[in-house]
Copies of this chain bind each other. A is one copy, B any other.
Amino acid sequence: MNKNKNTLSFPDKSNSWDEVTDIVVIGSGFAGLTAAIEARNAGTSVIILEKMKAIGGNSIISDGGIAASETKLQKKFNINDSKDMMYADMLNAGDLINYPELVRVVVDNANDAFEWSQEYLGVEYLDRVDQFGGHCVPRCYTAKNISGATIIKKLKEKVEELGTSVRLQMYFKSFIQDSEGRVCGVIVRENYDYKNPDSGRDIYIKAEKGVILAAGGFSSDIEFRMAQDPRLTEKIDTTNKPFATAQALKEALRIGATPVQLSHVQLGPWASPDEKGYGHGPEFSEYILFQYGIIVDPVTGGRFINELADRKTLSDKILSVGHPCVGIADSKAVSESGWSIEKCLKKGVVKKFNTIKEFAVFYNVSYENLEESLNVFNKSFEEGRDKCFGKPIIDNAKPIMQTPFYGIRLWPKVHYTMGGIRINVLGQVIDLEGKVLEGLYAAGEITGGIHGASRLGSCAITECLVFGRIAGKNAAKKLS
């Protein structure tokens, strides 16, 4: 209770502010930096707090994929898509428990945010459109270098161009509220050292217009994620950095923010147990395997799912198999995908084989059963559909028969936390009574409800940019 008591007793010492600014942004990932840029452009003073020694949070290690409909790139590649189609895909993946009004805001503003990142920030994307699991058409764009760092770099440059910067090693400890309960500042641990948490000293920063919470998710917080889904023990790896904890989220809950759908934690089905963290395997899985190849259970040699199913369906299914599964694609798939798998091969997470036999021996799969699975799947191309599991046939996909073949082992990792604190369409945090929690805004993974039970690939960066912009603009207006 101490933090809570600090928070509430603070008005007594309200003459002891160490710093005063219009807006405090907690977190320096996609959402935080985007919010800071819009707040600066609205003419307010902004302090951006980052607890680590480097900026970017988890955003910087993401693969830089962003989803949007009705884009110029889709037009260029003659892809028919619409905001309503993207809206329907997000709700279907989310088991229909998403907040419809928030999903609507994301899809309606997705292309604006995507173009803003190109035209205003200067982010460059690969000249391609991908269809990731759960999306009904190709709708996913990838930043150059296939890395969120490409976007973070541009956001950082813009933040500095606008005359502010990210304060590193500033650990957010708790909110300060005035006598009416309005969030009016924060207590921060200065010179925070991740390895030595008690280092540094506490300072009080006043936020005249508001605080924007953009501290990310809690995939690495084993205690907190297990409280929501007890299956997610330390035995399940995560694609996130170790600092992706629930600390800031818990502070919001302590002052009465409404927790939303916290038990929906996303596992990445494209992850491989043969490397740590996110790694490089996911590139092969998403850009090649899921679209062109098949996944089999090594024990049976048989397929068991539509490889383009959404992440939740795919992860739950692989987990239910009970052991790592094996994916296979051929060299035709690699060339058609236009994707380089050099890194994957160099890291050894993807293996190369001259024959199906070699593949079967290496992964200890029954050769006959694997052959049969491939033959049945390859018939899909004559028949125009995957009779067994209803996997959509990608336009330029071909039967799997072109040597050499490529393989990967798959086992899910904790990737994203759909749940978080409740916000409204204006990016304002909502309290337990359903009312606006004055002075507090939020954007990005720390918020809940946008993705429901399961987030579609590439929709996170879209959400961070769309709601980061909204929160930044509205905090600057001091809406509440």
Chain A interface residues toward B at CB < 8 A: 1-2, 4-5, 8-9, 96-100, 177, 180-181, 223-224, 227-231, 246, 250, 253-256, 258-264, 419, 422, 430, 432-434, 449
Q: Return chain B residues, CB-CB under 8 Å to A422.
A: 227
Q: Return chain B residues, CB-CB under 8 Å to A5.
A: 8, 181
A231 touches B97 (CB 8 A): yes
Q: How far is the CA of A422 from the CA of B224 in the complex (A)?
A: 11
Residue among A2, A98, A230, A262 having the largest count of chain B Cβ atoms under 10 Å: A230
B263 touches A230 (CB 8 A): no
Q: How far is the CA of A422 from the CA of B9 in the complex (A)?
A: 27
Q: How far is the CA of A228 from the CA of B262 in the complex (A)?
A: 9
Q: How far is the CA of A264 from the CA of B229 in the complex (A)?
A: 12
Q: How far is the CA of A326 from the CA of B1 in the complex (A)?
A: 53
B97 touches A254 (CB 8 A): no
Residue among A2, A231, A261 having the largest count of chain B Cβ atoms under 10 Å: A261
**Shortest distance from the beta carbon of A253 to any chain B beta carbon, whole Å:** 6
A223 touches B259 (CB 8 A): no
Interface of A is mostly: loop
A259 touches B262 (CB 8 A): yes
**Shortest distance from the beta carbon of A319 to any chain B beta carbon, whole Å:** 9
B253 touches A432 (CB 8 A): yes
Known: A177-B1, A230-B98. A432 touches B259 (CB 8 A): no
Taking a contact as CB atoms closer than 8 A, the residue among B2, B96, B259 that contacts A253 in the complex is: B259
Q: How far is the CA of A255 from the CA of B250 in the complex (A)?
A: 12
Residue of B nearest to A5 (CB): B8
A419 touches B263 (CB 8 A): yes
Q: Return chain B residues, CB-CB under 8 Å to A434.
A: 223-224, 227
Known: A1-B8, A230-B100. A256 touches B259 (CB 8 A): no
**Shortest distance from the beta carbon of A480 to any chain B beta carbon, whole Å:** 14
Q: How far is the CA of A99 from the CA of B232 in the complex (A)?
A: 11
Residue of B nearest to A431 (CB): B1
Q: How far is the CA of A256 from the CA of B254 in the complex (A)?
A: 6
Taking a contact as CB atoms closer than 8 A, the residue among B4, B97, B261 that contacts A8 in the complex is: B4
Q: Return chain B residues, CB-CB under 8 Å to A223.
A: 433-434
Taking a contact as CB atoms closer than 8 A, the residue among B4, B229, B260 that contacts A4 in the complex is: B4
A4 touches B256 (CB 8 A): yes
**Shortest distance from the beta carbon of A416 to any chain B beta carbon, whole Å:** 16
Q: How far is the CA of A250 from the CA of B260 in the complex (A)?
A: 13
Taking a contact as CB atoms closer than 8 A, the residue among B246, B254, B255, B260 that contacts A228 in the complex is: B260
Q: How far is the CA of A259 from the CA of B262 in the complex (A)?
A: 8
Taking a contact as CB atoms closer than 8 A, the residue among B9, B99, B177 that contacts A230 in the complex is: B99
Q: Return chain B residues, CB-CB under 8 Å to A433.
A: 223, 250
